[in-house]
């Protein structure tokens, strides 16, 4: 099947630092599958990062490299997918501007994350025009490539519903320019970090893909387990063990079920159980580390790949914007 006959997928990640196991389990594994079947556009969404992190933005170039290097090392293939940097395709901004003018303000004011994020991150000044418009920019990111499929976790499904509503409004006002993007609901496993809370860079509890084997070993070996297991002879409940969230995401089912049984019947110690997930992760990540080291030694490769992706993305985005301008009546006549 050639690229033209494939459905278009759009997804993105904010460049907030190196990627961790949560990104692998929640998005990247799925992206690797999608690139086999669809024409995928994967974007490093630095304008989105700016909308919430504009007060501390000095690491943006370094973080952009980290994300792109992680993507390439895990197997995203620039020959199959378009890997690009959002701010290098200005058409996103033009479409965002136009969409922002047709969206009734209450549609944005009722987005739950707008208030939630302000409550959760009181140190950041997020009561801004740009942050309120975050879902509009997300819609522009999708529509500019006429993406038909958008993989989202449950927590993002509200944003996609809003994107669909905006699409319908645009099409009603100016004609059927955009396909209505469909949700591809993806299971995002809840992964615990080293302190038992949700794995997140901002909690400082993440296990990064680029962490070397000894660091992974140390981080997991010192993780808390089910509190019932004070001694090896105490039976545990794997569903309440933070480490077992890693087993659920990465250890094959049969092995995992057998470990769970051994935990419940106190036939295995936590160190032995942890060793299984450590070994599995080292096995999964060994080829990743090899490519990652090569890319770190020659960083220009990564920038060149992004540059090519930017050009491909621009070609599609420009075409779409021509149609949009023409539908609205902004096209210049010669
Ligand atoms: S045996 Fe495994 S699942 Fe059970 S508490 Fe220990 S680490 Fe967790």
Please indicate, yes or no, whether residues 20 and 48 belong to a single structural domain of this protein. yes
Please indicate, yes or no, whether residues 148 and 181 belong to a single structural domain of this protein. yes
Average pLDDT, the chain: 94
pLDDT score, position 153: 83
* Separation of CA 149 from chain center: 15
Q: Ligand 1 atom closest to Cα of 273?
A: 2
- Tell me if 41 is assigned to some domain: yes
For the entire predicted model, the pTM comes to: 0.94
Task: Please give the share of the chain, as a percent, with pLDDT higher than 90.
Answer: 82
- 234 C-alpha to center of ligand 1: Å? 11
- 244 C-alpha to center of ligand 1: Å? 6
- Tell me if 133 is assigned to some domain: yes
- Tell me if 334 is assigned to some domain: no
Q: Buried b vs exposed e over 9-48: b needs ≥16 C-beta within 10 Å?
A: bbbbbbbbbbbbbbbbbbbbbbbbebbeebbbbbbbbbbb
- As for how many domains the chain has, the answer is 2
Please indicate, yes or no, whether residues 37 and 140 belong to a single structural domain of this protein. yes
Query: For residue 184, what is the enclosing H or E element?
Result: strand 182-185
Please indicate, yes or no, whether residues 44 and 10 belong to a single structural domain of this protein. yes
Q: Ligand 1 atom closest to Cα of 247?
A: 3
Please indicate, yes or no, whether residues 171 and 308 belong to a single structural domain of this protein. yes
Please indicate, yes or no, whether residues 165 and 233 belong to a single structural domain of this protein. no
Please indicate, yes or no, whether residues 121 and 53 belong to a single structural domain of this protein. yes
- Which structural domain, as residue segments, surrounds residue 245? 211-293
Give residue-wise pLDDT tens across range 114-150.
778 777 777 888 889 999 999 999 999 999 999 999 9
Please indicate, yes or no, whether residues 180 and 253 belong to a single structural domain of this protein. no
Which residue from 270, 274, 277 has its CB within 8 A of the most atoms of ligand 1, so it is best to mutate?
Answer: 270
Dihedral sign, Cα of residue 223, residue 278, residue 197, residue 257? negative
Nearest to 30 by CA among 201, 138, 189: 189
pLDDT score, position 3: 66
| Mean predicted confidence (pLDDT) in 244-262 | 97
- Tell me if 196 is assigned to some domain: no
- 249 C-alpha to center of ligand 1: Å? 15
Protein residue with its CA nearest to atom 3 in ligand 1: 238
Which residue from 232, 235, 236 has its CB within 8 A of the most atoms of ligand 1, so it is best to mutate?
Answer: 236
Is 80 exceeded by the pLDDT of residue 1? no
pLDDT score, position 163: 97
- Tell me if 203 is assigned to some domain: no
Is 80 exceeded by the pLDDT of residue 68? yes
pLDDT score, position 2: 65
Other beta carbons less than 10 A from residue 125's beta carbon: 12
- Tell me if 154 is assigned to some domain: yes
Please indicate, yes or no, whether residues 100 and 243 belong to a single structural domain of this protein. no
Please indicate, yes or no, whether residues 47 and 158 belong to a single structural domain of this protein. yes
Give residue-wise pLDDT tens across range 304-327.
999 999 999 999 999 999 999 999
Q: What is the CATH number of the domain that holds 38?
A: 3.40.50.620
- Tell me if 202 is assigned to some domain: no
Residues 6+ apart with CB under 8 A from 171: 177, 178, 180
- Tell me if 223 is assigned to some domain: yes
Q: Which residues line ligand 1 (CB under 6 A)?
A: 225-226, 229, 236, 238, 241, 243-244, 263, 268, 270, 273-274
Give residue-wise pLDDT tens across range 173-208.
999 999 999 999 888 888 999 999 999 988 899 999
Please indicate, yes or no, whether residues 97 and 173 belong to a single structural domain of this protein. yes
Query: For residue 12, what is the enclosing H or E element?
Result: strand 8-13
pLDDT score, position 56: 83
Q: What is the CATH number of the domain that holds 219?
A: 1.10.240.10
Please indicate, yes or no, whether residues 241 and 132 belong to a single structural domain of this protein. no
């Amino acid at each position: 099947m050639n690229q033209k006959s494939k459905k278009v997928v759009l997804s993105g990640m904010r460049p907030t630092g190196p990627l961790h196991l949560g990104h692998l389990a929640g998005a990247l594994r799925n992206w690797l599958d999608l690139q086999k079947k669809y024409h995928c556009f994967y974007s490093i969404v630095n304008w989105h990062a700016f909308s919430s992190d504009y007060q501390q933005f000095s690491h943006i170039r370094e973080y952009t490299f980290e994300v792109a290097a992680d993507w390439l090392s895990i197997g995203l293939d620039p020959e199959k997918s378009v890997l690009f940097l959002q701010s290098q395709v200005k058409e996103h901004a033009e479409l965002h501007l136009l969409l922002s003018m047709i969206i009734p303000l209450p549609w944005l004011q009722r987005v739950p994350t707008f208030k939630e994020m302000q409550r959760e991150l009181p140190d950041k000044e997020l009561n801004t025009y740009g942050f309120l418009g975050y879902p509009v920019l997300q819609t522009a990111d999708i529509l500019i490539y006429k993406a038909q499929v958008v993989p989202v976790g449950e927590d993002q499904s509200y944003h996609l519903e809003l994107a669909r509503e905006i699409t319908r409004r645009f099409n009603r006002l100016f004609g059927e320019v955009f396909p209505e993007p469909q949700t591809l609901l993806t299971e995002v496993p809840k992964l615990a970090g080293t302190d038992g809370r949700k794995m997140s860079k901002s909690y400082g509890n993440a296990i990064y893909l680029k962490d070397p084997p000894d660091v992974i070993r140390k981080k997991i070996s010192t993780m808390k387990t089910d509190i019932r297991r004070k001694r090896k002879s105490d039976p545990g409940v794997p569903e309440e063990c933070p480490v077992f969230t890693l087993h659920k995401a990465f250890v094959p089912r049969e092995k995992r079920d057998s470990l769970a049984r051994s935990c419940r019947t106190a036939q295995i110690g936590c160190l032995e159980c942890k060793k299984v997930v450590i070994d599995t992760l080292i096995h999964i990540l060994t080829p990743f580390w090899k490519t990652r080291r090569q890319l770190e030694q020659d960083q220009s490769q990564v920038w060149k790949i992004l540059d090519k992706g930017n050009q491909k993305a621009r070609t599609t985005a420009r075409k779409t914007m021509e149609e949009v301008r023409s539908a609205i009546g902004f096209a210049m006549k010669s």
